[in-house]
Amino acid sequence: MAAPTIAFTGGGTGGHLYPGLAVIERLREKGFPGRIAWLGSTKEGDRATVEGAGVEYLALPSGKLRRNLSLENAADAFRVLAGYAASLKALRELRPELLFSKGGYVSVPPCAAAARLGIPYFTHESDLSPGLATRLNARRAERILVSYEETRSRFPRELGAKVLVLGNPIRESIRRGDAARGRAILGAPAGLPVILFLGGSQGARQVNELVAALLPGLSGAAFVAHQTGGAAEAPSGGGAGRYRSYGYIRAEMPDILAAADLVVGRAGAGTLWECAALGKPMILVPLCGSGTRGDQVDNARLFAERGAARALVGEEASPERLLAEIRSLLADPARLSAAGRAARELAGADAAEAAARLILERLGVPA
């Protein structure tokens, strides 16, 4: 009998790539004997991330799924159709026993093509509120995997039997970070707490502006590590020995995250779960407004309700308010520790392990 093939799909942001790669990592650790391929976007960043993990990558045309009226919708409709045709061709050639979708607009044509070809697929949602792609994919999915129990009720009742609460898979390397090595990488002086500011894989102008405004007020109180994102410039006036910026933190992230006493940033699912798995207290400044579906606000408020984070939404995220929250947490180690414990509890079990076992069970391969 030939070794089975599994296809993965998703992309557009790190949050639609890294959880899937975490599952692939576990499948390999378990000795999965077959072929694994990723159906992704034409973005070079997506390709580089997936191929950097040693996974075969097939680029497909893809169009964004917008909720608002836009002239770009017409062009994207053609891209979606082209993506569907390309997905049919790719899946016919790959002949996978299973497709695993990590969501995002990139995943919709491959899931539709899989349904047309009779290929079973699982779809996974990282956020508290399901995105449009997940809701479309869920209709014909064999399994709907979600990260939170609260997400179950956000699907139609007739799909309830398919929903399984799994958590959000994270890379094993994140769990293996070393705090002492992280402090050495940063050059953080002994005795100063480390605050890690993150704007997500694509950066965040608001977070960068907040860092620039906060640095004088944090002088002597903390060492600031800052992922600016993309080509954004680091704020000036960081001060020697108490500030370090990165465009994007890659291989060093596990150690730098391990060294962080407090994480401040967006509320994307990937960031939240990586921090939660390590028991990191957080202050969240979720992306909100007309350009977003509100998923980060939902995520942030849930973490705040569970005691794992403070959430500053919209106008609440002023430099003065954020500085006060940071100072309050740093001055209260017991509160900081309690938030870290709540975060770790919220992260729960190892979702990458659970997803890998579920896949192998479906394929009849010993785990």
Contact 38, 50 (CB under 8 A): yes
pTM of the model: 0.91
Q: Decide: 311 and 304 in contact? Cβ < 8 Å.
A: yes
Q: CA dist 239 to 218, 257, 341, Å? A: 10, 21, 32
In the chain the domains, ranked by start, together with CATH numbers, are: 5-167+349-363 (3.40.50.2000), 173-347 (3.40.50.2000)
pLDDT tens string, the chain, 367 residues long: the values are 578 999 999 987 778 899 999 999 999 999 999 999 999 999 999 999 999 999 999 999 986 755 554 545 556 778 889 999 999 999 999 999 999 999 999 999 999 999 999 999 999 999 999 999 999 999 999 999 999 999 999 999 999 999 999 999 999 999 999 999 999 999 999 999 999 999 765 557 889 999 999 999 998 899 999 998 865 666 765 555 699 999 889 899 999 999 999 999 999 999 899 999 999 999 999 988 766 778 999 999 999 999 999 999 999 999 999 999 999 999 999 999 999 999 999 998 899 999 999 999 999 998 7
Q: How far is CA 85 from the centre of its chain?
A: 28
Which string of DSSP letters, residue by residue, matches 9-35?
A: E--SSGGGTHHHHHHHHHHHHTT--SE
Please check whether residue 207 is in contact with residue 199, taking contact to mean a CB–CB distance below 8 angstroms: yes
Selection from 77, 76, 130 nearest residue 104 by Cα = 130
∠ Cα 232 235 241 (to 5°): 125
Tokens of 213: 């405004």
Contact 50, 17 (CB under 8 A): yes
